[in-house]
Amino acid sequence: MISQDLLRDKFRGALLGCFLGDAFGAGFEGMHPDRATFHMSGLDSPSVHHFVPKKFSRNYTDDTDMTLALAESIVQTGGVDPEDIAKQFSLHCDLTRGYAIGTIKAVLALRAGLKWHQVARMVFENGSFGNGAAMRVSPVGLFYHHDLDKIQEEAIKQASITHVHPLGQWGAVMQACSVGLAVNQNPKETFKKGQMVTNLREILWRGPIEYMRALNKIEEMFVRGKKPEAREVVQSLGNGVEAHFSAPSASYIAITYSPDFCDAIRAAVSLGGDTDTIAGMVGAIVGAHVGEKGLPIEWVEQLEDGPRGRSFARSMADRLYQTWWKTYQSPSE
Ligand code: R7I
Ligand code: MG
Ligand code: MG
């Protein structure tokens, strides 16, 4: 049984972890894995473990922006309500923060008055398989951490506003389940790798085959034991903007490196490609494992702190935790 203090700290860890990974990763977007690896090399030694590289951007992008809007909606409605999420996206998404075309068009259409179920096929006729629904989904993993089946259902529901392609939706399921499973792990121990893969399999067999194939590859890498080079992880699992080429990489890196937050984020950035999103997803999973107390304070203090900056993200995590407590734990229930 997790204490209330620890659980609240885990909610904070996940949202700030997403923020950190997103901001840190944004400085390395689109890099080849060899170049990204070069930038990260040498920073894992104890004397420079918390060193903040110059290319570390302090500013969050769409990944954190949408995560906070989704969290706001769960707080407002006590669950996942697509109509309200669409309203929050419409009100809060700052489209200058590195959004991709599918989501930009969807948000603009919502602002123009279209309903939430009318906007997801405006750019891609089969729906987007981008990782936008996965990058923002950590609040769902936190809020339903006590029920993996519910995480699956609600992750898909929140995805369907912008991502109706099954690959886009199930990338969100994989990421949300990884966050939920991380909440339930002891922050003082490494992840129970075999257990994590088994639990993810129990959910992901229901979705597209790509995610089961990725889980097989993840398991093979665990069996081999030695941590592979970034280039090999990319060859095996991907580093792209597509949900199925990024959510599995994020889960793999988080499970492999947690509870060391700095090493996990550096390993994510070393993959190159969609670095803000993969590092943001890794940050959310590892943050849900170790809590804010397990995050490097030197890094957190660097983050922007404007109206929707790091203090806002921390208080959003607290409100999400309070909503969870009132919904599922309150003695008056
Ligand atoms: O998924 P989405 O919100 O993008 C998230 C990414 C993250 O890396 C963020 O950090 C930000 O940089 O953007 O936005 P979408 O436009 O729906 O999907 C992202 C991209 O995936 C698209 O712009 C396409 O390049 C690609 N994509 C597709 N390409 C061909 N056919 C997604 N769906 C399709 C498709 O059906
Ligand atoms: Mg981004
Ligand atoms: Mg990205």
Q: Residues 218, 103: contact at Cβ < 8 Å?
A: no
CA distance 84 to 40: 40
Average pLDDT over every residue of 131-143:
98
- Tell whether ligand 1 has an atom less than 6 A from the beta carbon of residue 297: no
Question: What residues does each domain of the chain span?
Answer: 4-43+59-325
Average pLDDT over every residue of 225-239:
95
- Determine the pLDDT at residue 54: 81
Q: 241, 281, 282: which to mutate for ligand 1, most atoms within 8 A of CB?
A: 241
Task: Find all residues with CB under 8 Å of 166, minimum gap 6, and list them.
Answer: 207, 208
**Higher-confidence residue: 53 or 62?**
62
CA–centroid distance, 52 to ligand 3, in Å, is 20
CA distance 165 to 312: 32
Which pLDDT band, with edges at 50, 70 and 90, does 133 fall under? very high
Angle at 246 between CA 290 and CA 229, to 5 degrees: 80
CA distance 162 to 156: 11
Q: 85, 96, 128: which to mutate for ligand 1, most atoms within 8 A of CB?
A: 128
CA distance 216 to 218: 5
Q: Residues 184, 190: contact at Cβ < 8 Å?
A: no
Q: Does domain 4-43+59-325 have CATH number 1.10.4080.10?
A: yes
Q: Closest ligand to 29 CA?
A: 3
Average pLDDT over every residue of 17-37:
97
**156-to-13, 51, 117, 294 alpha-carbon distances in Å:** 23, 38, 13, 30
- Tell whether ligand 1 has an atom less than 6 A from the beta carbon of residue 29: no
CA–centroid distance, 317 to ligand 3, in Å, is 22
Which pLDDT band, with edges at 50, 70 and 90, does 332 fall under? low
CA–centroid distance, 101 to ligand 1, in Å, is 7
- Determine the pLDDT at residue 330: 74
Total count of residues recorded for the chain: 333
- Helix/strand/coil (H/E/C) assignment for every residue in the chain: CCCHHHHHHHHHHHHHHHHHHHHHHHCCCCCCHHHHHHHHCCCCCHHHCCCCCCCCCCCCCHHHHHHHHHHHHHHHHCCCCHHHHHHHHHHHCCCCCCCCHHHHHHHHHHHCCCCHHHCCCCCCCCCCCECHHHHCCHHHHHHCCCCHHHHHHHHHHHHCCCCCCHHHHHHHHHHHHHHHHHHCCCCCCCCCHHHHHHHHHHHHCCCCHHHHHHHHHHHHHHHHCCCCCHHHHHHHHCCCCEHHHCHHHHHHHHHHHCCCHHHHHHHHHHCCCCHHHHHHHHHHHHHHHHCHHHCCHHHHCCCCCCCCCHHHHHHHHHHHHHHHHHHHCCCCC
Cα 145 → chain centroid:
14
Q: Which amino acid is at 247?
A: A
CA–centroid distance, 130 to ligand 1, in Å, is 4
Which pLDDT band, with edges at 50, 70 and 90, does 333 fall under? very low
Cα 199 → chain centroid:
18
Average pLDDT over every residue of 254-271:
97
pTM of the model: 0.98
Average pLDDT over every residue of 278-296:
98
Is residue 79 pLDDT above 90, yes or no?
Answer: yes
